[in-house]
């Protein structure tokens, strides 16, 4: 529920990191032992630029990207985000899942899954785009087209 009005914030919690366990719960009904249920990437690589990101998405699916978060992004609710004002707040990693063009304005955009929870942005869990946002495509807004990373399995 990170950055969601009316919801607990990350800073409201202070947890100790739990010990890493290398086995499943004794009463687990999951049929695959942990040592046989691991997936490792064969090759990791970076993707840069609008056309390269689109090709990678089309051929291989979602891509991890990072971008710079600015103050005006915190007010996003809907539409296609484009940074226009406010200071830099830091970096953020998200999942690039698709692209499109806004029919009303002709603005090209990326479809991005945010990891701040399903209430982020719209504030409504059942909204069709809950937890997602659109960011302008083709201008490397906030550096989003310069930082794709993925791999093969």
- pLDDT tens by residue, 31-51: 777 778 777 778 999 999 999
Q: How many residues does the chain have?
A: 153
Selection from 56, 41, 139 nearest residue 98 by Cα: 56
Number of domains in the chain: 1
Q: Considering the domain boundaries, does residue 22 fall inside one?
A: no
DSSP letter for each residue of 2-69: TT-TTS--GGG---PPPPP--S--TT----S-GGGS----SEEEEE-SHHHHHHHHHHH--EEEEEEE
pLDDT at 1: 47
Residue with the two structure tokens 């942990």? 34
Q: What is the extent of the structural domain holding 101?
A: 40-152
133 forms bridges with which residues in the sheet?
112
Q: Considering the domain boundaries, does residue 79 fall inside one?
A: yes
CATH number at residue 145: 3.90.70.10
For the chain (153 residues), the mean pLDDT of every run of 10, in chain order, is 56 73 68 77 92 96 95 88 95 95 96 82 63 94 95 84
Q: Considering the domain boundaries, does residue 77 fall inside one?
A: yes
Q: Considering the domain boundaries, does residue 16 fall inside one?
A: no
């Amino acid at each position: 529920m990170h950055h969601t009005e009316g919801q607990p914030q990350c800073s409201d919690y202070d947890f100790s990191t739990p010990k890493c366990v290398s086995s499943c719960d004794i009463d687990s009904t999951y049929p695959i032992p942990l040592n046989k249920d691991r997936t490792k990437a064969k090759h990791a690589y970076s993707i840069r630029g609008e056309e390269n990101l689109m090709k990678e998405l089309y051929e291989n699916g979602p891509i991890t990207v990072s971008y710079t978060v600015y103050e005006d992004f915190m007010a996003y609710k809907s539409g296609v985000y484009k940074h226009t004002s406010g200071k830099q707040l830091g970096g953020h990693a998200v999942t690039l899942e698709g692209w499109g063009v806004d029919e009303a304005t002709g603005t090209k955009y990326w479809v991005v899954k945010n990891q701040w929870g399903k209430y982020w942005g719209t504030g409504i869990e059942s909204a069709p785009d809950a937890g997602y946002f659109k960011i302008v495509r083709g201008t490397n807004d906030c550096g989003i087209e310069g930082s794709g990373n993925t791999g093969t399995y």
